[in-house]
Amino acid sequence: MLTFAIAFGSFALYLIAYHTYGRWLARRFFKLDPNALTPSREINDGRDFVPTRKQILFGHHFTSIAGTGPIVGPALAVIWGWLPALLWVLLGSIFMGAVHDLSALVVSMRNRGQTIGEVAGRLINPRVKVIFLLILFLALMIVLAIFGLVIANIFDMYPASVLAVWIAMPIAVGIGLLVYRGGYRPTLPALVSLAIIVGSIILASEVDFFAFTVKPMQIGGYTLSPVILWSVVLFAYCYCASVLPVWVLLQPRDFVNSYLLILGIVLLLVGIGVATFTTDGGVPVVAPAVRAEVPGAPPIMPFLFVTIACGAISGFHCLVSSGTSSKQIARETDAHFVAYGSMLTEGFLAVLVILACCAGLGMLENAAGHIGTAAWMNRYDSWAAAGGLARTVGSFVEGAANFVTSVGIPRPVAIGLMAVLVASFAATTLDTATRLQRYVIQELADTFSIAPLTTRHGATAFAVLSAAVVAAIPPPGESWATGMGKGGLTLWPIFGAVNQLLAGLALMVVAFYLARRKMPKWFIALPMVAMLVIPAWAMLHQLLNPADGWWARGQYHLIVAGVIFMALECWMIAEALRLWPRIRGVLEPPLPPIPRGFPVIVEPSASPDR
């Protein structure tokens, strides 16, 4: 009964938070105005700036911020017990993560859709702009390198997921043409597309011919594993997705994926309810509530708060809010639904991940013959046993599939559905991150006058190639023959702290926006300080811990990366502190005139609501 109470109680709590605290921030504090001129209407270039229905934009925003973050983080963090993970997700998403996402979207939206790094240059000073853009570039490079690997691993582990993920791409293009060129409402095409995707999952799960398995390939004396081959295909796809207009692929594909998410959440909730009231003993939580001592694991404090990022608060979200969503939002008032609502939805997904790993895993006997608490301990006996992206994702997929089988869906189909859910979200984050990296590179190139990288194709090519190189480089001590394709994993240990530091820095930029307008800052003060202090604490522990820190292990690549990020953070904070006493009530320099190097598209006045 506890599993059922947590699931439905969390859902109710999020609904209350959306209609109380979230509504207050949107209406009373930020005073969102439905008649204000938004960047999508002011610029409307038909490619990046496109006025978009809030339902479609919600689908894009949510699936972009979700990715595998709210799955991988909670699925690993439950090793310290389900209660700390649950409390951090609930409180963090309502009072920190959703506030961060909404405020970043509002600030960018009111600064002509500029990225948070570009806004920092005007709100603080030009040096901060360069510092922040460098942090964003390095962080996004890691995101691209690792998320490509995650999807490639899912395709390798669950071949039944391949057909559904790729068939969604041409379907999305068709929906984009129907909606933006044919004037159709998107709901019916999206529902038909969802039926096709689910049908392809069932087909691939039941018929081996449609479960695409890639075999290793020999090239030039090197063995290219299926994971490497899939990574190459995914990076090529990212390039194409990033340079296309957002309405062609990005928006419709994300909209369809949001329907897939809703289907997955409904099946999980119904599965929990059916299993609770039809199974002897219900669905007990088989994990301990709190488990402070875990063999080989870092201390729960501060690492719980950097292990779970997406689902509570994540710096990557400020890039989506200020990078793509602020350029597509049709009305200011849509920001409440798009940003605050998306973050709460992601928090609820993280709650279901916690339940899948702490209750779902114990429902059915696994391959090792374990059930109940033994099944959970088989996965989480130690940090080494739980670690590894593939194993962590597998904990959610199998635990969630156990819930879904309670409603009569065959287990292979249930596993295929959950694997497609993870892969689709990760693919959304991957190509959105590529587009965001393109914006960052173009802004840096414009600052340093590097003409070839200011173009759309030049910046995208550099984004993809740099991430591919990082992903391909073997870890220190391994040869290209044995370690090729593991580069993203070598930098993954640093990403949790860097991601949370980014959230703190984004909130600092928001604080400058509020201070210059003499607006209260209390609601972001605690999240900002927490996300500047706790990740730095975790980073220093990873660097200097005498037992197994990076310095003790001689992991110099992580030491160099960690020192670079810490130095950039300290420099940015120092610049902000130096200026802070002098900016209250002093507005930043005005935005420059809009360059009209493109045809301004006149859209029908009712287009966002058709």
pLDDT of residue 610 exceeding 70: no
Average pLDDT of the chain to the nearest whole number: 88
Tell me the average pLDDT across 24-33.
95
Could you tell me the CA-to-CA distances from 199 to 159, 190, 302 in Å, in that order?
15, 14, 44
pTM: 0.90
101-110, 273-282, 543-552 — which is least confidently predicted? 273-282
Instruction: Tell the residue number behind the tokens 């960690």, with chain if given.
Output: 562
Report DSSP state, residue 225: -
The helix (H) or strand (E) run that includes residue 222 is strand 222-224
**Average pLDDT for residues 194-208, to the nearest whole number?**
89
Cβ atoms of 313 and 95 within 8 Å: the answer is: no
- Structural contact between residues 179 and 252, judged by C-beta atoms closer than 8 angstroms: yes
Q: Give 479 or 259, the one with higher predicted confidence.
A: 259
Looking at residue 384, its amino acid is A
pLDDT in tens, 141-180: 888 888 777 788 888 888 888 898 889 889 989 988 888 8
Instruction: Decide: residue 74, CB within 10 A, 0-12 exposed, 13-18 middle, 19+ buried.
Output: buried
Q: Where are the domains of the chain?
A: 2-592
**Preceding amide of 302 cis, omega within 30:** yes
Cβ contacts of 166 within 8 Å, gap of 6 or more: none
Render the burial of 555-578: b for 16+ CB within 10 Å, e for the rest: beebbebbeebbebbeebbebbee
DSSP 52: B
**Which residue, 77, 237, 67, 251, is CA-closest to 143?**
67
Q: What is the CATH number of domain 2-592?
A: 1.20.1730
